[in-house]
Structure 1
Amino acid sequence: MALHSDLLPWYFPSTGLLLVMGVAFTAFVCHTCWVYAQLRHFPGPPLAGWSRLPLIVWTMSGRAHLKYQEISETYGPIARIAPTVLLSSDVEFMRKIAAARSKYRRNEWYMAFRFNPDRDTIISHRDDEEHARLKMKLAPGYSGKEIDGLEAKIDANVKAFVKLIETSYLSGPSDTKPFDLAEKTQFFTLDTIADISFGSPIGCLANDSDMYGYLKQAAASFPFFMVLGLFPRIMHILALDSVKRFLPSAKDSLGMGRIMRLASETAGKRFPLKDDEGVHRDMLGSFIRHGLTRAEAEAESLVQILAGGETTATTIRMTIFHVSTNPRVLNKLRAEIFRVRPSSPLTDAEAKNMPYLQAVVKEGLRIFPPITGLLFKDTPIGGDTYDGKFIPGGTAIGFSFLAAVMDKKAWGEDSHVFRPERFLEGSDEELRNRDAMVELVFGFGRWRCLGRNIAVSELTKVISELLRTFDFSVVNPMNPFKTRNAGIHLQSDMWMRAEKVAQYH
């Protein structure tokens, strides 16, 4: 007997509505099955092939990098982590993706790094031509050749770091003055970047303070950027005037907005360009001389602060941590320093002639990669193949840095151990391959980090100076520090003691 709609309860849908719902549900199921089928030949966690939910949960967990390493070890060098997303730990495949003539392009994930929702930067541009144009204008500044006294600026901040520990946190046999190494390394990197970029440090080391509360706000923001990367279309909403007023701006007196104001004020003093522009021989001055507009110069200066500070700080603190807890490595490094007797801080030229120091820095970058975001790239129209398996066009492919640098086939059974000697042992070809693999932390090919040389200079100088000056010990070995992953490592409470090292004989 047919049911009449006027006899059904108010909450029971009509026959027409039921038909529409049935058609919609069938279409949804068919589309989901079709999407699943596109990458069904790639293994991965079972639910990941049907839903993005696992990827979202991993991203929000603060331990995503460890999960991606586990997936790579379980399912192989390429695995499925979402319906249209693959994860790779194959170094050669990622080099192919980033090659100069590759047709791969950046995924929408990069839109999350528009720190100003209205404007792309060197790390958010998805248009290859625009990215190349901008890179050409930025490269001379990042090379350091157009920055007067670049090395002296880094040296001055290294000395300020050492002075802070000596004057405020030096412990002795009968007293302890613990300090948070995680925080102090952030002070160093922020001051150094500001000095290079704007011509003077912000003052974190001099005041032993998170100036303007920037570091605290930045740490709270990075998890948001990672989640936003999974939903990049939200950037269009954030660009609305009614929404932008709730975001950090140059009008703010604290936090990221205060750094934005600093960039804006500094850039404002350089415009319009004058004949004496050459006196501004800092990085911002180089950007402007090579054609960046005021808005572009402000945006790129902010990128330097946001992208470079925490990553370099992570490598400094984790290298200090691993060396300080490994007497064999510490003694060997100090023996080289005491034998060479380099300047204080050592020069870049001296560092090149200290192979064990170089090995320590490389191992620091390898054992704890500072960047763990997947840096998704899109497969070109027409698709690609991997090991004979077809990858449809538009598939997002991310890279697991941690899985690559912990691969036992490439690094040996002790890949999880901090052992700098691995960069000094083996044939010339093996050493070149290891060096090339650890360079992955600075990116690939046309997307390689412009600030690589400056970062390495900072690392060699500050690590060698701290370890030649102080004996560090962990205050709480059972809980040495706190860490949360958000594409980069957000670390805190790395409480350490520092005692002065006896002078060389």
Structure 2
Amino acid sequence: MVFEQLLNISPITLFILLPAGVLIYGLLQYFLDPLRSLPGPFLARFSRFWYFFELYKGSFEETNIELHKKYGPIVRIAPQEYSVDNVDAARTIYGHGNAFIKAPWYTAWKPPDPNKASLFSDINPHRHGAQRRKFSSLYSMSALVGYEPFVNNCTSLLCQRFNEIAQAGKTVNLQHWLQYYAFDVIGEITFASRFGFLDMGEDKEGVFHAIDQRGVYSTFVGIFPWIHPFLYPLLPKTGGHGYVLNYTLRQIEERQKSLKDPRNAGREGPPDIMTKILLAHEAEPTTMTRMDLITMCQSNIGAGSDTTAITLSSILYHLIKYPHTYQRLQNEVDTAAKEGRVSDPVTFKEAQDLPYLQAVIKEALRIHSATGLPMQRIVPAGGTTIANHFIPASSSVGINAWVAHRNTSIYGLDADHWRPERWLEFEEQGRGAEVEKYALAFGMGSRTCIGKNISLLEMSKLVPQLVRRFEFRLDGELEREGLRSCNRWFVKQMNFWGKVFVRDIKSEG
């Protein structure tokens, strides 16, 4: 009877009732909120649409920084959702063994079937822990030595392409070239076969755009995660993500055939990740499933290329923009080469003994973190206290790396500026460990990015090769207007155009 009456409501009545219902719901959220005294934008008290539209602008990392400058260490960004800037809160929210699970926003980054979740998108801490233990050895520091030949291959090819670009006098999008590099490196590390972006010098399949679009979907749908199960089946099954999936399936099939071929017995090459997982799957198929194999390989490609490319772009852009830091790094590498302390190419171990290089990498991760939204977690039963405020259970709290990395009490009064030297000063002051506790570029605690070491491997090996072989100049328009980025979870540089010049080798000494 009630349903029939609803069907008979006129469109005009619905037009009036729906906004009224939304308004009443928003007012109820406000008046029933035990934390209504916490500050934040006015509209964020009533609806998640304020957050949605701020994300749409594409610069929420900057908005988030300004919100904390205006309102303090806790800011409301949506009903029952808070952005935090507090060192002690980082340990509370992200520390090992804490009961703060990932917020529902992350569910939009996976299929509705929880068994197909990646390590990044899985909100079940027990399943995540079990899955992470399966793969952690593949990403350990000790495993990196086996991946260095793959990085060397791609570094050599990128340097070859930069030589050609310099000879042609072209102005190029350096971010694109660094993403070609990062994509091909992770292809080699994962499959012992690069995708060929460095060979082609372009993305013919539109893979980057498709991965970006899937990120746009997940970023916005995650704000209203209840609609994800309805929208997900409508997503295109072709395009960039389809390309990555099909490429992954082909690589697995070919490797299975290769491993069974007796002619390949005794042939050994550098150990790629897919082969390691595949062998574990064939030995224990119920423990290491085929879905584990597919999901992990896809995750490597989807996340590993973007995050590393963004940080490499941050390194190179800031070095070029502040030439005295470029010169200092170049001098460090030149001196180490002259004294026989680094090889050509530089090994990962040698790179660890170049203090200014490591300071540059840390500063690039700090000043332009790859991700630019708060890493939201759900407050467990019993609630918690953050910055002297009691936050009840089921609230969502999170810290944005961009906000944390501009905390002046940790990083100094010049935290808004590029200055790699601060990391050398932290070491001299004995503050290195303290500062690292609020360095969130790779996340924190049990949810720290599993690919962190691989990303550091790529950066530590490529950057010295670039500064010892090349000089760069920013495009005139970029110098005038500054770097533009678009924040769709990943804060991707949009106008990093410049020229490449082959360095006079005599200048090395």
Judge same fold: TM > 0.5, yes or no. yes
Residue matched to 2:36: 40
Aligned-pair distance for 1:328?
1.5
CA contact (8 A) 2:75 2:84 kept: yes
Residue by residue over 1:49-76, the C-alpha shift from the partner in whole angstroms, topping out at 9 and shown as x without a partner, is: 2221211111111011111111111111
Deviations 1:311-330 (A, max 9, x none): 11111112111111222212
Separation of aligned partners in 2, 1:303 and 1:375: 19
Q: 1:413 to 1:267 in 2, by over 3 A?
A: same
- Matched residues in 2 for 1:317 and 1:157: separation? 16
How big is the shift at 1:371?
1.2
State how 1:297-316 maps to structure 2 within 5 Å.
297-316=293-312
CA offsets per residue over residues 89-111 of structure 1, 9 Å max, x none?
21321222122221111111111
User: Scaled by the length of structure 2, what TM-score is found?
Assistant: 0.87
Q: How does 1:105-504 map to 2 (within 5 A)?
A: 105-114=101-110, 119-143=116-140, 145=142, 149-167=146-164, 169-171=165-167, 176-240=169-233, 243=234, 246-248=235-237, 252=238, 254-269=239-254, 281-290=271-280, 291-341=287-337, 342-426=342-426, 427-438=428-439, 440-476=440-476, 477-479=479-481, 481-503=483-505, 504=508
Number of residue pairs the alignment of both structures matches? 478
**Mapped partners of 2:314, 2:146: distance in 1:** 28
Cα pair 1:322 1:418 within 8 Å, conserved = yes
Is the CA contact (8 Å cut-off) linking 2:30 and 2:36 kept in structure 1?
Answer: no
Three-state SS of the structure 1 residue aligned to 2:375 is coil
Deviation at 1:448, TM superposition (A): 0.7
> 1:3 is matched with which residue?
none
For 1:327, give the aligned amino acid: P
Asked whether the 8 Å contact 1:32–1:50 carries over to 2, the reply is yes
Name the aligned partner's letter for residue 501 of structure 2. E
Change (3 A) 1:98 1:289: farther
Structure 1 Cα separation of the partners of residues 112 and 295 of structure 2: 8
Residues 117 and 235 of structure 1 are in contact (CA less than 8 Å); yes or no, is this contact kept in structure 2? no
Q: Closer, same or farther in 2 for the Cα pair 1:149/1:48, shift >3 Å?
A: same
CA distance in 1, matches of 2:453, 2:248: 23
Say whether 1:95 aligns with 2:85. Answer: no
Structure 1 CA distance for aligned equivalents of residues 324 and 179 of structure 2: 27
Residues in 2 aligned to 1:324 and 1:29: alpha-carbon distance in whole angstroms: 49
Distance 1:144 1:26, change over 3 A: closer
What letter matches 2:455 in structure 1?
A
**What secondary structure does 1:471 align onto?**
strand
For the pair shown, the structure with the greater C-alpha radius of gyration is 1
C-alpha distance 422-233 of structure 1, shift in aligned 2 (>3 A): same
Q: Deviations over 1:348-397 (max 9, x none)?
A: 11111111111111111111111112221000022112233221111111
Distance 1:423 1:145, change over 3 A: closer
Tell me which amino acid in the other structure corresponds to 2:157: A
Q: CA deviation at 1:398?
A: 2.0
Task: Give, in angstroms, the shift of residue 480 of structure 1.
Answer: 5.2
Paired residue secondary structure (2:107): helix
Indicate the SS of the match to 2:441: helix
8 Å CA contact retained: 1:268, 1:294: no
Range that drifts further, 357-366 or 324-333: 324-333
Residues 379 and 394 of structure 1 are in contact (CA less than 8 Å); yes or no, is this contact kept in structure 2?
A: yes
The superposition leaves residues 222-278 of structure 1 with CA deviations (integer Å, 9 ceiling, x where unpaired) of 2222101102222211454xx3xx422xxx4x4221111011222234569969799
Tell whether the 8 Å contact from 2:154 to 2:181 is kept in structure 1 after alignment. yes
Please identify, of 477-486 and 224-233, the stretch whose mean Cα deviation from structure 2 is larger: 477-486
Answer whether contact 1:319 1:360 (CA < 8 A) is retained: yes
Q: Does the CA-based 8 Å contact 2:74-2:387 persist in structure 1?
A: no
Question: Secondary structure, in 3 states, of the residue corresponding to 1:429?
Answer: coil
Separation in structure 2 between the aligned mates of residue 222 and residue 332 of structure 1, nearest angstrom? 37
Q: CA deviation at 1:493?
A: 3.4
Q: What is the letter of the counterpart of residue 127 of structure 1?
A: N
Q: Distance in 2 between matches of 1:286 and 1:40?
A: 52
> In terms of mean alpha carbon deviation, does 346-355 or 117-126 score higher?
117-126
Q: Which moved more, 1:402-411 or 1:290-299?
A: 290-299
> Could you tell me how far apart the structure 2 residues matched to 1:491 and 1:260 are?
26
Give the aligned partner of residue 4 of structure 2.
Answer: none
Deviations 1:423-477 (A, max 9, x none): 1114443222233433x11111110111111111111111111111111001222
Write the deviation string for residues 167-223 of structure 1: whole angstroms up to 9, x where unpaired: 2x115xxx7321110110110000000110111100000111214220122223322
Q: Secondary structure at the match of 1:478?
A: helix
State the distance in 1 between where 2:120 and 2:397 align: 17
In structure 1, what residue type is equivalent to 2:208? L
Secondary structure of the residue aligned to 1:442 is coil
Distance of 2:266 and 2:273 partners within structure 1: 12
Q: Which stretch of structure 1 is more off in the superposition, 222-231 or 356-365?
A: 222-231
Cα distance change on mapping 1:406 and 1:144 into 2, 3 Å: closer
Letter of the aligned partner of 1:441 in structure 2? A
Counterpart Cα distance in 1 of 2:404 and 2:230: 36
Residue 5 of structure 1 aligns with which residue?
none
Structure-2 separation of matches of 1:131 and 1:482: 35
CA contact (8 A) 1:198 1:266 kept: yes
Q: Against the structure 1 CA distance between its residues 24 and 314, is the aligned structure 2 distance closer, same or farther, given a 3 Å change threshold?
A: closer
Identity %: 25
The whole-number CA distance in structure 1 between the counterparts of 2:149 and 2:398 is 38
Q: Is the 8 A contact 2:144 2:454 kept in 1?
A: no
CA distance in 2, matches of 1:482, 1:75: 26
With over 3 angstroms needed to count, the CA separation of the structure-2 counterparts of 1:29 and 1:92, relative to structure 1, is: closer
Does the 8 Å CA contact 1:144/1:150 hold for their aligned counterparts?
Answer: no
| Deviation, structure 1 residue 409 | 2.2
Aligned partners of 1:182 and 1:313 also within 8 Å: yes
Contact in 2 for aligned 1:117/1:238 (Cα 8 Å): no
